[in-house]
């Protein structure tokens, strides 16, 4: 669920950037520091945010998702043992 929110927020952030670069050219051309304008900063910002989010997601997954998965695995292993069910895949 949190993963879905993450994806939606991130795609929204990217679409916002895309639409700004299509419809708000003057705004994007605003010069911030020397020749460096807002469009360049936001573009590099997209890279930075992707890298940070990817890194953050992996930390989150290792801390939160993996223990949950382990718990689920133990439960289903117990259930499997009772049912003596199928494990392999055809």
Instruction: Give contact residues for another protein (rule: CB under 8 A).
Output: 3, 6-7, 10-11, 14, 17-18, 21-22, 25, 28-29, 31, 33-37, 39-40, 43-44, 46-47, 50-51, 53-55, 57-58, 61-62, 65-66, 68-70, 72-73, 76-77, 80, 87-90
The candidate with the shortest Cα–Cα distance to 53, out of 1, 9, 20, is 9
Query: Cβ(14)–Cβ(46) under 8 Å?
Result: yes
Q: How far is the CB of 34 from another protein (least distance, A)?
A: 4
Query: Cβ(44)–Cβ(52) under 8 Å?
Result: no
Q: How far is the CB of 39 from another protein (least distance, A)?
A: 5
Structure tokens that stand for 23 in this block: 């419809």
């Amino acid at each position: 669920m949190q993963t879905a929110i993450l994806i939606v927020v991130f795609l929204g952030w990217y679409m916002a950037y895309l639409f700004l670069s299509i419809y708000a050219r003057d705004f994007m051309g605003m010069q911030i520091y020397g020749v460096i304008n807002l469009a360049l900063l936001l573009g590099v910002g997209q890279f930075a945010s992707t890298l940070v989010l990817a890194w953050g997601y992996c930390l989150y997954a290792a801390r939160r998702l993996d223990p949950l998965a382990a718990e689920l695995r133990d439960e289903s292993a117990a259930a499997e043992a009772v049912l003596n069910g199928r494990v392999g895949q055809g």
